[in-house]
Amino acid sequence: MLNPSFQHSIRTAVAGVVSLLVARLFRLPEAYWAAITTLVVMQSTLGASWKISIRRFWGTALGATVGAVLANYFGSNVLAFGVGIFLVGLVCIFIGSRIARLRDQLDRTAFRYASIALAVVMLVQRSQPAWIVAIHRFIEVSIGIAVGLLVTLIWPERQTYNQSGESG
């Protein structure tokens, strides 16, 4: 039987390569974001991967949307960027406090992912309009999430048990 850490390394490497290839298949301009996302969401169990994936999904959707709107009107203006980060935080707080189903999903982790997506859309200079950059970013991240979850589902890690019967 393989060492669990060794097995996790293999699973993560395979998933990262698969997500990169899928994003390249779709000719996405920054396919590496799919691989990065897969590396972020790969956990030892499907439940753990699902939790981080939901936060990454909603955070990226929110940040890419706000980033596209702000970049369209203000470009990569530093003040607009700061206001955008603040607004994304407020949206996470507001939605999390009002909608019980999303309370656990729009937490500080989702806020961090939203802030990263906003920064990528607003601050990285590209020749394409901001809304195209935002859509690409969202698709790249979604591919990474899907591949990470799929690999975790079809190739689960075996639980190891210590002498007391606890998993570890």
Tell whether 159 is covered by a domain. no
Task: Give percent of the chain with pLDDT exceeding 70.
Answer: 88
* 164 CA to centre of own chain: 36
Cα angle vertex 108, ends 138, 68, to 5°? 30
Ordered mean pLDDT values, 10 residues apiece, the chain (168 residues): 86 97 97 96 88 92 97 96 96 77 73 96 92 96 97 83 48
Contact residues for 147 (Cβ-Cβ < 8 A; gap 6+):
15, 18, 19, 22, 34, 38
* Nearest-angstrom CA–CA distance, 48 and 15: 16
Tell whether 160 is covered by a domain. no
Tell whether 166 is covered by a domain. no
Tell whether 69 is covered by a domain. yes
* Nearest-angstrom CA–CA distance, 138 and 168: 34
* 73 CA to centre of own chain: 26
The pTM assigned to this predicted structure is: 0.86
Tell whether 95 is covered by a domain. yes
Range of the domain at 62: 4-154
Question: Structural domain tally of the chain?
Answer: 1
